[in-house]
Structure 1
Amino acid sequence: MALDTDSSPAEPGSPSDVPFDSALSERYLVYALSTITARSLPDVRDGLKPVHRRLLWAMRLLRLDPAQGYKKCARVVGDVIGKYHPHGDASVYDAMVRLAQTFSLRYPLVDGQGNFGNIDGDNAAAYRYTEARLTQVAIDLMEGLDENSVDFRPTYNGEDEEPELFPGLFPNLLANGAAGIAVGMATNIPPHNAAELIDAAVALIDNPHADVLQHVKGPDFPTGGIVVDPPAVIAEAYATGRGSFRVRSRWHQEDQGRGTWVAVITEIPYGVQKGKLIEAIAALINDKKLPILADVRDESAEDIRIVLEPRARTVDPQTLMDSLFRLSDLEVRFSLNLNVLDRNRTPRVMGLGEALAAWVDHQFVVLRRRTEHRLAKIADRLELVAGYIIAFLNLDRVIEIIRTEDEPKPVMMAEFQLTDRQAEAILNMRLRSLRKLEEMELKREQADLEKEKAELELLLGSEARQRTRMKRDLGKIRERYGPETDLGRRRTLIEEAAPAREIPLEAMIEREPITVILSKRGWIRAMKGHIEPGQLADLKFKEGDEAFLTFPAQTTDKLLLAADNGRFYTLAADKLPGGRGFGEPVRLMIDLEGDRAIVSLMPAGAAEKLLVAASDGRGFVVKAEDVIAETRKGKQVMTPRAGAHLRVVRPIAPEDDMVAAIGDNRKLLVFPLAEVAELARGQGVQLQRFRDGGLSDVRTFRLADGLSWTMGGESGRTRTETDLSPWRTARGAAGRMPPQGFPRDNRF
């Protein structure tokens, strides 16, 4: 980077060498300030950004009053970008569309005719198809523009003038809110109820330290809804100007007869597009993330009506809605960032009371400027009226001067001590004004003007009178936007509610008994009801396949599947295929390698702890909650040594205090359960040692009850050995031959 060492000034338009970083920072600073002050942040005094102000000003000059007809939006946009706002027509039209949307603005400033978009998120029609005019709210906001109440500035090309801000008594910043992203800062202000804001403003006039929250309860969104935050949270947000509000949909339950019901949504949170909201709820149903919801229907016409149909009549309505509040945009957080431009055009974050006080101060400035403007108008008129009265008192002489003098104006000024304006006005009088009645009307007008002048001078000289006048004017505006009017009634309910409960998936599933059946080839299914052991023989399997594991469960259960590589997988019982066919391969539900065998399948709630053991005799105790996997890939719990594999997974009963292990070499070993380490994952400790072969089976039991096993044959008898002293030893021993009658397959 070269530095300019030549001190002579460069010619305009000629290149110069400057450090790149300083050139970049200077230019970016200009851009940032322009974005902040002239594009993205609203003024605290009228709540408008320049594009909105210019739109309304252009419509006012086009005489698009509420009593007049509509005009094409293309005409308005053309005037705005041609005279005041040299930006793209699309951005200007988008701003105009938002001013007309009843679901975007609490008090719309533009009355649109045609397609201006909808709450579903559809765009407005092109500006050649739509028409618009101003609303009464916009008229109130611009009231006083012709009375020198605000400053005007030249437009960008210097051909016209535009107001720097609007003077009206409508509290637009807080009533309609604002949103914008500038450079390094942003603003997001919710809409409020105008009548509440005016009440708070009146309180501030009487007491600058008044608590505005006595009147402003919270946001008042055009789409209604419910603000469910506690009063303390709302107060904190308004005090600092930063925070957020939880906005929840309004709903009610409708009975459909025979015990069935549906939930009907009638109001949705502000800023949420209804079409996308319904798509998101439908996705929850399709993805089975909300099993207790069966269907969602949009029955909206002019009013919103979203119907939610539960899966069964036994579903709890509040549980359903709490789930939807957590999983969808039926409840959202609306951020508050009350960042505005103050009267010095400086961006800063204000509290609610401070912003309202700044608006009230501006209204007093407007009141004084309008009063001064009216006094100047009265002085001008009194000057002319005084001249007219002199003319009437000396009518014959005035007529004679006009008829005889070549230049009557200076003669009249000298003879009657008239000013230039008075003499010019007399000369421009019509003959029909020379009636006797006109003289009486002039004297009456002079008296009225003198009286009004005296009152206005008293108003300017007394702050108390100004406060009284301001409260009276605000009272008139409040009548138009009072809570008894359709436009002014509060739409958003402020009602504290607890955060939506996190409903476990099990609570959303209808609890039903099932029997889980797993075949040796890994096909799984779930039969409805708990099947008796004698009925299991009637189950059908694919050719060459047979039952491997069967057990009763509930549809709300989580099932733990253990593979011989020590990895555990979790299955949802309600997602299992039905029992009419052969089921489905369990490998379609989890990422289980094809060469891996299934060791165990059981409900996750079968026991709090599990005993896992590998074929080399190593094992440990693990909590059941630690083996639950959240993904298809499962969770690696046991890491068998080379050449070994997971052999046994057994639930541990709470009263169990001993472990019995038997190897392929038919050696039995009994030792205390306390000697087995409790781990979350790993290889474990040596439960039993072997010279040849490995571990065949292991289980836990209660020493006082003895060790039991099932006898062979069809009798199904169980034998119990209570004296286990010959086999009791420390963990890791080899063991000795089992009692007489122990099963030949070495399995308990």
Structure 2
Amino acid sequence: MADLTDDPNMSSKNLAEPLRRAIGDRYLTYALSTIMHRALPDARDGLKPVHRRILYAMRELRLASGGGFRKSAKISGDVMGNYHPHGDAAIYDAMARLAQDFNVRYPLVDGQGNFGNIDGDNPAASRYTEARMTAAAEALLEGLAENAVDYRDNYDGTLTEPVVLPASFPNLLANGSSGIAVGMATNIPPHNIEELCNACLHLIKAPNARDETLLDHVPGPDFPTGGVIVEPRENILEAYRTGRGSFRLRCKWQVEQLDRGMWQIVVTEIPYQVQKSKLIEKIAEVIQTKKIPILGDIRDESADDVRMVLEPKSKNVDPDVLMNMLYRNSDLEVRFSLNMNVLIDGLTPKVCSLKEVLRAFLDHRRDVLIRRSQHRMDKIDHRLEVLEGFIVAFLNLDRVIDIIRYDDDPKAALIREDWSISHARAMDEADYKSPALSDDEGLSEVQAEAILNMRLRSLRRLEELELLKEQAALMEERAGLEDLLESEEVQWSTIAEQLRETRKKFGRDYEGGARRSQFAEAGVVEDVPLEAMIEREPITVVCSQMGWIRAMTGHIDLTRELKFKDGDGPRFMFHAETTDRLLTLGSNGRFYTISASNLPGGRGMGEPLRLMVDLPNEAGIVDLFIHQPDRKLLLASSAGDGFVVPENDVIAQTRSGKQVLNVRDQVVAKVCRPVDGDHVACVGENRKVLLFALEELPEMGRGKGVRLQKYKDGGLSDATTFTMADGLSWKDPAGRTRTETELAEWVGKRAGTGRMAPRGFPRDNTFT
């Protein structure tokens, strides 16, 4: 970009800069704003700005846990108007999540009304719901009135808001957090407060504690929805040590026995952040598509709790095998990622270990303790100053009354007056000697103002004694605060005592405070073949010329006449079993795999094969047969190209099939025959036959293949394999099998043109 700063016509206010720098600076500003003010939580209180502002606004509205509720619309409106100039819908969504006990381990908002459910239903509109704070939220706010944290101006400078909350417990780990920023993200699971407090207490005793020791106190996450964590201990340790990792979480289930030896599986806890309704839909789809043939049905019997009933197809099914299949095919097992990316000091994003996050919380608690203690000491000093003035007034009551009664400026007179012991009224000095009386100076402005504001009813001797008692108590408290501010050991001892109180308040005796997620070993469940889960029964597979397929019960007579749609007739018909897998080759060169147990019954006309696999409408069916492992197939296209492929290599795992024979333009797949013999026989549309050794054909997994036979006009009509010693067989026009053993004149090299077919060769140019 040209530099225009030297242009005399350019205004001094409009300076040009390179586009790259301009965009870079502005995007960096946006990125930093997203990281600091939207996506990443603060390691000290575990909150993002929107959550912090919601709690602070509720405090300003005096919505204590023991008080009344207020409309959610009022709360979100105050947050938006005073502190968070964004959409009220986003604010209400954030507040509603803080009230959902299935999303937040220790809810910070006590909601009244419909705040959503574990099925994924949305909360009611903010005008219909009400909210207040919980005890856990009050614990995060405790100390705000005592200068525990810094304040900053709100977005328009009319109010102030806390930069961070005092936080009596490590909320970042207790409730977890998730967010996506620019170029980084965070995902922290919730934990148990009692275990976190134990880990903090251990860190206070041993600041250089090893990660293995911390894992004894915090064995892993504690999810609101419970579940079973099956991640090995060494993986959890590595995740907490590096700040990155994942946890395998499974549902909690049990077997319920029914009559006649039947049983059912009841799921009582599902993995964290899995919507129950979508989970049931997914399992129902698995049943419908018969991915798990041994699963019969699923029912949702949930009320306030979770109760999903899974019914097996047979009582002989192993429950562990069934659940292992469900773990693989549904969200009954999930993997929760850990990415402990947080603002460690409120400004710098960093991926922290468990110890670093706990250390950040403890350092924050120490700062809060020092600031609250200093604030309390300042209050005590101010009160002691006032009390000394009161005591002077009581000891010199007559003189104080005279000054107030007759002096034009009593405040200035009180300050100027020399309050000596001679003005004191009769009182035994052994009772108490005020520090103010040892000074020849007058009262301070604060003391004079307090005396002038004192009520007449306070001029009783009883009140004087109360003042002396209060002064003694404050002096004792002040001495304790001085010791605390001067000694780091006393500070950590006080923090430890506060953590013990928090542990007692929110521990196992607190409602929902006991650990919910349990630990178990994943166990090794052997893979069971799909065929082993299906009852083995004889069937007869019938596929029509138009591609309608069905399975008749039992092995019926293959010559028996069956009903087909008008204009349709039989094409493939063979005996099979329900445990078999069927292979079909499309003219597009793709192989498709179908389980025989999934075929429609034989009462009707069946279903189109194209609906069971993704066979394009323009592609035809070349062959349909039972899969036999370790067998080899001869594949050939209409252009006369082909190769040998192992049958195990053509198995398709998806509906879309597996491309094996590459074809293009007008060329289509033409031949698919099992390899049985030592020679290959080819016949073209020109009725020329060529025989060559099978070893001349390559064995491939996929490709176009090599030339089998060369043609001037037309293409390949049919190909097969045979044993030269046994001769080549075909059916004559009368339907009789004819075998030719004198084949020397047709034997040649691969890719030759061949010779005209022997006398009596079928007119349709096929070997069958």
TM-score, structure 2 as length reference: 0.82
Question: Does the alignment pair 1:449 with 2:451?
Answer: no
Corresponding residue of 1:301:
303
Corresponding residue of 1:113:
112
String of CA shifts for 1:380-426, please: whole Å, max 9, x gaps: 22222222223333334433444444444424642343422223323
Q: Compute the displacement of 1:352 (Å).
A: 1.4
Question: Does the alignment pair 1:557 with 2:589?
Answer: no
In the aligned structure 2, how far is the partner of 1:118 from the partner of 1:521?
50
Corresponding residue of 2:225:
223
Q: Compute the displacement of 1:51 (Å).
A: 1.9
Summarize the Cα distance change of 1:261–1:183 in structure 2 as closer, same or farther, 3 Å threshold.
same
Q: Compute the displacement of 1:635 (Å).
A: 4.3
String of CA shifts for 1:352-389, please: whole Å, max 9, x gaps: 11011011011111111111112222222222222222
Corresponding residue of 2:378:
376
Of 394, 415, 418 in structure 2, the residue corresponding to residue 414 of structure 1 is: 418
String of CA shifts for 1:241-279, please: whole Å, max 9, x gaps: 222222222222223323333332222222222222223
Of 649, 660, 663 in structure 2, the residue corresponding to residue 626 of structure 1 is: 649
* Contact 2:42/2:346 (8 A) holds in 1: no
Letter of the 1:136 partner, please give it: A
Matches within 5 A, 1:393-404: 393-404=395-406
Structure 2's unaligned 5+ residue stretches are 421-440, 759-764
Summarize the Cα distance change of 1:616–1:404 in structure 2 as closer, same or farther, 3 Å threshold.
closer
Summarize the Cα distance change of 1:581–1:278 in structure 2 as closer, same or farther, 3 Å threshold.
closer
Corresponding residue of 2:428:
none
The residue matched to 1:3 in structure 2 has which SS?
A: coil
In the aligned structure 2, how far is the partner of 1:180 from the partner of 1:18?
36
Q: Compute the displacement of 1:474 (Å).
A: 0.7
In the aligned structure 2, how far is the partner of 1:43 from the partner of 1:476?
24
* Contact 1:670/1:727 (8 A) holds in 2: no
Corresponding residue of 2:429:
none
In the aligned structure 2, how far is the partner of 1:639 from the partner of 1:28?
50
Corresponding residue of 1:127:
126
Q: Compute the displacement of 1:564 (Å).
A: 7.9
* Contact 2:630/2:648 (8 A) holds in 1: no
* Contact 1:223/1:267 (8 A) holds in 2: yes
Letter of the 1:340 partner, please give it: V
Summarize the Cα distance change of 1:141–1:702 in structure 2 as closer, same or farther, 3 Å threshold.
farther
Of 448, 465, 474 in structure 1, the residue corresponding to residue 499 of structure 2 is: 474
The residue matched to 2:266 in structure 1 has which SS?
A: strand
String of CA shifts for 1:500-536, please: whole Å, max 9, x gaps: 98776545544432122346776543222234x5x74
Matches within 5 A, 1:462-611: 462-497=487-522, 506=531, 509-518=534-543, 524-531=549-556, 536-537=559-560, 549-562=572-585, 569-581=592-604, 583=606, 600-605=623-628, 608-611=631-634
Corresponding residue of 1:258:
260
Corresponding residue of 2:151:
152
String of CA shifts for 1:574-594, please: whole Å, max 9, x gaps: 333333355456567668799
Q: Compute the displacement of 1:164 (Å).
A: 1.6
Q: Compute the displacement of 1:493 (Å).
A: 1.9
String of CA shifts for 1:545-580, please: whole Å, max 9, x gaps: 876554322223222345789765544323333333
* Contact 2:730/2:767 (8 A) holds in 1: no
Mean CA deviation greater in 679-688 or 378-387: 679-688
Mean CA deviation greater in 542-551 or 447-456: 542-551
Q: Compute the displacement of 1:205 (Å).
A: 0.9
In the aligned structure 2, how far is the partner of 1:239 from the partner of 1:483?
27
String of CA shifts for 1:456-477, please: whole Å, max 9, x gaps: 2112211111121111111011
In the aligned structure 1, how far is the partner of 2:472 from the partner of 2:66?
35
The residue matched to 2:552 in structure 1 has which SS?
A: strand
Corresponding residue of 2:285:
283
Letter of the 1:239 partner, please give it: R
Corresponding residue of 2:273:
271
In the aligned structure 2, how far is the partner of 1:3 from the partner of 1:462?
63
Corresponding residue of 1:334:
336
Corresponding residue of 1:19:
17
* Contact 2:239/2:338 (8 A) holds in 1: yes
In the aligned structure 2, how far is the partner of 1:182 from the partner of 1:336?
16
In the aligned structure 2, how far is the partner of 1:644 from the partner of 1:493?
58
Letter of the 1:431 partner, please give it: L
Mean CA deviation greater in 622-631 or 537-546: 537-546
Q: Compute the displacement of 1:347 (Å).
A: 1.9
* Contact 2:635/2:661 (8 A) holds in 1: no
* Contact 1:618/1:686 (8 A) holds in 2: yes
Question: Does the alignment pair 1:637 with 2:638?
Answer: no
Mean CA deviation greater in 159-168 or 553-562: 553-562
User: CA RMSD, aligned part only?
Assistant: 4.5
Q: Compute the displacement of 1:641 (Å).
A: 13
In the aligned structure 1, how far is the partner of 2:399 from the partner of 2:618?
127
Question: Does the alignment pair 1:201 with 2:203?
Answer: no
Mean CA deviation greater in 368-377 or 670-679: 670-679
In the aligned structure 2, how far is the partner of 1:614 from the partner of 1:4?
71
* Contact 1:688/1:731 (8 A) holds in 2: no
In the aligned structure 2, how far is the partner of 1:644 from the partner of 1:27?
57
Summarize the Cα distance change of 1:240–1:585 in structure 2 as closer, same or farther, 3 Å threshold.
closer
* Contact 1:660/1:671 (8 A) holds in 2: yes
* Contact 2:582/2:595 (8 A) holds in 1: yes
In the aligned structure 2, how far is the partner of 1:644 from the partner of 1:376?
93
% same residue: 53
* Contact 1:514/1:552 (8 A) holds in 2: yes
Letter of the 1:601 partner, please give it: L
Corresponding residue of 1:385:
387
Summarize the Cα distance change of 1:728–1:358 in structure 2 as closer, same or farther, 3 Å threshold.
same
In the aligned structure 2, how far is the partner of 1:29 from the partner of 1:676?
63
* Contact 2:661/2:669 (8 A) holds in 1: no
Summarize the Cα distance change of 1:377–1:305 in structure 2 as closer, same or farther, 3 Å threshold.
same
Structure 1's unaligned 5+ residue stretches are 739-744
Of 340, 352, 375 in structure 2, the residue corresponding to residue 350 of structure 1 is: 352
Q: Compute the displacement of 1:681 (Å).
A: 4.6
* Contact 2:484/2:490 (8 A) holds in 1: yes
Q: Compute the displacement of 1:180 (Å).
A: 2.2
Q: Compute the displacement of 1:94 (Å).
A: 1.8
Q: Compute the displacement of 1:234 (Å).
A: 1.7
In the aligned structure 2, how far is the partner of 1:157 from the partner of 1:664?
87
In the aligned structure 1, how far is the partner of 2:460 from the partner of 2:373?
33
In the aligned structure 1, how far is the partner of 2:9 from the partner of 2:669?
87
Q: Compute the displacement of 1:106 (Å).
A: 0.9
Corresponding residue of 2:436:
none
In the aligned structure 2, how far is the partner of 1:78 from the partner of 1:251?
43
* Contact 1:72/1:127 (8 A) holds in 2: yes
Corresponding residue of 1:48:
47
String of CA shifts for 1:441-498, please: whole Å, max 9, x gaps: 2222222222222222112211111121111111011001213433211112233426
Letter of the 2:6 partner, please give it: T
Summarize the Cα distance change of 1:41–1:727 in structure 2 as closer, same or farther, 3 Å threshold.
same
Corresponding residue of 1:137:
136
* Contact 1:591/1:634 (8 A) holds in 2: no
The residue matched to 2:55 in structure 1 has which SS?
A: helix
Corresponding residue of 2:103:
104
In the aligned structure 2, how far is the partner of 1:158 from the partner of 1:595?
70
Corresponding residue of 2:699:
678
Corresponding residue of 1:28:
27
Corresponding residue of 1:742:
none
The residue matched to 2:628 in structure 1 has which SS?
A: helix
Corresponding residue of 1:60:
59
Mean CA deviation greater in 632-641 or 236-245: 632-641
Corresponding residue of 1:165:
164
